[in-house]
Chain A
Amino acid sequence: MMTEDFDRILDECIDRINRGDNAADCLSDYPAYSERLRPLLQSMHDVQKTYTFTPSADTKRAARQKFYATLGKQRRVTPVLSLFRAIPRSAAWATIAVLVLAIVGILMIQPILNPPMLVPSPDGNFAFLISDEPNDIGDFESLNVTISGVGLQAAGSVKRFEFTPETKTVDLTRLQGEQSQEIWRGNAPAGQYSQVYIYVSEVTGKLESTGQIVDVKLPSSKLHISMPFEVTVDTVTRFTFDITVVATGNNGKYILKPQIGDSGTRQEQKPLE
């Protein structure tokens, strides 16, 4: 029984880490098991770190284009095929002759009956950008934030769409005010979203005044914004996530925070495929 419990807890921790949570959070939730859990989660971390890599943006883009081109071709022929599928088996043979004539007719007037379908663009319907609201960023010569993943939480659902940025490390000192950097572009499922998560794996800040590397805290290794927005198939939604760094008093420590007031979406029309 104890082993089953432990298996379940280990499993839950692995699920949570896969979703971007900290191993430390899971350990603190199960103090009675933490001594046994810790080395196992460390081994998981070692294995993941060894094999994890980010596929090249160019290769992924080319593969995406091929996928959507095939999808587009497949969708253009599907309406004709679906006519066959809609016919009850018992009546199929009796109507074949009629269908042949109908298909010939359909093919002749296909441009009218079969207008271009709304297929997501290979270039994507969603772009994700990072920007920095200047607070104490002036203290830094560089402030590199490494983002391991981004999650978009669907509104009224447990579904979360996650992607790995093509550009993983951004220097916030270069993204102040109106400046922003696109770190990912692709296709996100159309729909309403309510929250955005950024999973941060590393923060390295170098002070302008002394060149010293300082500790920049990020509670729970993620940044989170609650904000409703919509993603559609036929427009490009550009979401800018604004991050700010603030000093936590006069102790030389800093904290990273999301800046909701300067975050949000902008939509651009894009040509239909």
Chain B
Amino acid sequence: MNIGNRKDIPTINEYESRLADLYEEYYDKVARYVYVHIGNKEEAEDIAGEVFLKALKSLNSYREQGVPMQGWLFRIAHNLTVDYLRKMDKRRTLPTDSVVLVGNDNPVDTAQKNIEFERVTEAMKQLTTEQREVINLRFFGGLTSKEAGGILGKSDGAVREMQRAAIEKLRGIMGVEK
């Protein structure tokens, strides 16, 4: 593999600079993406840090074919999340009802947040794995439908369709507060 030898391929230094540029913009998004999968904020933050380190160390294998660098970051995040869940022997893709949000709010607010968290989490669980991934990449990763499609191996049209079906399903389960 010869990154940087041809004029049309960015050099490894250019890729490194691009990754550094993405760091500030995508660290939070990657952390939220992971959090939706594992339901633990501290672990999600640690995994987000690992995603960028792994990307940095794997830049030699990065190829910009249909998936921009930010999409590649979410692929790495997905793989690290799967590894984490395997390690923790949590064979699930979403936080469960054992997750309790603790905050500095008063007990009533905290209880309300917990109820809301359970309501949304239960609804998310009803989606197919692909629908959930589309929602996660679009709502938390901030990727476009085309970028999400690049990761999922789908056309952007297919992603838009899955996205609409997923949100309609969520709406049906959660209801809508007027």
Contacts and interface: CB of A to CB of B under 8 A. Distances in A.
Interface of A: 3-4, 6-8, 10-11, 14-15, 18, 39-40, 42-44, 46-56, 59-60, 62-64, 66-68, 70-71, 74-75, 78, 82, 85-86, 120, 161-164, 186-189
Contact of A42 (B142, B145, B177): B177
B157 interface: yes
Interface of B: 2-5, 11-13, 16, 20-21, 23-25, 27-28, 31-32, 35-36, 41-42, 44-46, 48-49, 52-53, 56-57, 116-117, 120-121, 123-124, 135, 138-140, 142, 144-145, 157, 160-161, 163-164, 167-168, 170-171, 174, 176-177
A38 to B, nearest CB: 8
Contact of A43 (B16, B35, B53, B170): B170
A78 B48 contact: no
B145 to A, nearest CB: 5
Contacts of B157: 4, 7
Contacts of B3: 85
25 contacts: A7-B157, A10-B163, A10-B164, A40-B167, A43-B176, A46-B177, A47-B120, A47-B170, A50-B116, A50-B121, A52-B32, A55-B28, A55-B45, A63-B52, A64-B27, A67-B53, A71-B20, A71-B56, A74-B56, A82-B12, A85-B3, A85-B5, A161-B24, A161-B25, A187-B21
B160 A11 contact: yes
5 cross-chain pairs, A with B, having the tightest CB-CB distances, nearest first: A63-B49, A7-B160, A50-B120, A189-B21, A39-B176
Given A48-B139, A60-B27, A86-B5, A71 B16 contact: yes
B31 A55 contact: yes
A85 B4 contact: yes
Contacts of A70: 53, 56-57
A120 B25 CA distance: 15
A63 B45 contact: yes
Given A71-B56, A85-B5, A46 B12 contact: no
B42 A50 contact: no
Contacts of B28: 54-55, 60, 163-164
B67 to A, nearest CB: 18
A187 B176 CA distance: 40
Contacts of B46: 59, 63
Contact of A51 (B140, B142, B161, B171): B140
A66 B117 CA distance: 33
B147 to A, nearest CB: 11
Given A7-B164, A40-B167, A50-B120, A64 B57 contact: no
Nearest to A52: B32
Contacts of B35: 51, 53
A6 B164 contact: yes
A188 B170 CA distance: 36
A39 to B, nearest CB: 4
A42 B176 contact: yes
A186 B20 CA distance: 11
Nearest to A48: B139
Contacts of B48: 55, 63
Indicate the member of B25, B44, B57, B157 with the most A CB atoms within 10 Å.
Answer: B25
Contacts of A8: 160
A161 B23 CA distance: 11
Contact of A40 (B44, B120, B140, B168): B168
Contacts of B23: 64, 67, 186-187
Contacts of A7: 157, 160-161, 163-164
B113 to A, nearest CB: 8
Contact of A10 (B24, B139, B167, B177): B167
Contacts of A82: 4, 11-12
